[in-house]
Amino acid sequence: MAATGDRVPCVYVENRRVVNLDPTDPIKVSFKEPIGNEPTGRANPELLKMKHSHGHDFTIINGIGRIGYKTGGKSARWKDEDMADIFTEKAVSFIEKHQAEPFFLYFSTQDIHVPRVPNQRFVGKSGMGPRGDVILQLDWSVGQVIQALDRLNLTKNTLVIFSSDNGPAGTPVTDGDRAPRPEDGDMQKGFDVFHSVGSAGGLRGRKGNLYEGGVRTPFIVRWPGHIPAGTKNDTTVFSAVDLLPTLCAAAGIELPAEAASDGENLIDAFHGKRVRRTKPLFWKHYHIGKQDDTWPAWAMREGDWKLLMDESGQRIALHNLTQDRAEQTDASATHPDIVARMKPKLIDWIKTLPTSADPSCLHKASTK
């Protein structure tokens, strides 16, 4: 995918080339100014096969309004209903091609992300609208990959990890410009003032913020001969930054020093051992500097404790995630020693970022 499924250019890329591109019809894309004369969802809603949501109302591709403007590349444009089949077929084909040698497959699907357009054979099958139908489609894709491993006798020698990038989507109740998306179906009020789509399992927050409901995701591992089926390990906080050193350890490869990984090797957790990470985890809200309400703007997890901080560094919240999993009780006043220990580490991490908060905010954060 050249970008997310809800934005242009809506074409497949293979070996750094756009698939089926006619060289006489070059692609031009803009996310700022209109280009070309393609119809848009905003100006031509009668051409849409699904209602658009805020921001998804520019160039229409396959009857769906997208983010951004595009012209050209008509022979290369995808059909959303076929994407899962094509991606899954490519993944299985890759496994078949490399079955006699070590391989790494990163299979990133489009299903759950908007615009959520399942293949016809999944439409209406979940009883939960398009969102439920694309989850069924995702299950099918994963099943095809697993079946390929079984069919090729690769199961016992293959480590499979299934995870996600964020918690369930949500939309502010009071924000008229971000009304519930039509493809989301019925929405229920979540924590704070947000509608939450899907379940965060009782956690506070949703996609787009730094509460546990936004940053805690499923993490399922299958490794026959190493991990007994049904094993659960809740003693470790595992982050995506840990994947590189952990997978290197699983493959018996020493991670080069120049990799400068922020993660750590937690392979023992895969074997069911009690592991406690030694490095803190940090998060930055992606809208810092772009809008007024980014609380919490920064977050840090160290052991059982999670520290939340606003952009200026003046507002602080502290939660013990073992005792307060839903982050409802602020313990900063009763545990100032924990705040005093964690806050400087968070400030130091912020200073290392390529783009960070206004220096004055850092100054305030370091002196308050």
pLDDT in tens, 118-175: 999 999 999 988 989 999 999 999 999 999 999 999 999 999 999 998 888 765 443 3
List for the chain the helix, strand, coil content (%; round to 5): 30, 15, 55
Tokens found for residue 324: 């307060």
Q: What is the pLDDT of residues 279-332, one digit of tens each?
A: 999 999 988 766 666 899 999 999 999 999 999 899 999 999 999 999 999 999
What span, in angstroms and rounded, lies between the C-alpha atoms of 345 and 342?
A: 5
Please name which of 231, 220, 172 lies closest in space to residue 196, comparing C-alpha atoms.
172
> What secondary structure letter does DSSP report for 54?
T
Give the strand pairing for 13-14 and 17-18.
Answer: antiparallel
Distance CA 16, CA 30 (A): 20
**Predicted confidence band of residue 51 (pLDDT cuts 50, 70, 90):** confident
The tokens 């020693």 sit on which residue?
A: 337
Peptide bond between residue 256 and the one before it cis (omega within 30 degrees of 0):
no
Find residue 7's DSSP bridge partners.
67
Say whether pLDDT at 363 is over 60: no
Supply angle C-alpha 112, 113, 118, rounded to 5.
55
Tell me the average pLDDT across 334-363.
82
Average pLDDT of the residues in 337-355: 93
**Would you say 291 and 247 are in contact if contact means Cβ atoms under 8 Å apart?**
no
Residue with tokens 């206004």: 358
The whole model's pTM is what? 0.85
Phi, psi of 244 (to 5 degrees): -60, -55
Q: What is the C-alpha to C-alpha distance for residues 110 and 116, in angstroms, rounded to an integer?
A: 8
Locate 12 and state its tokens.
């497949």
Contacts within 8 Å (CB) and 24+ apart, 347-350: 347/313, 349/280, 349/282, 349/300, 350/284, 350/298
Rounded Cα distance, 180 and 176, in Å = 9
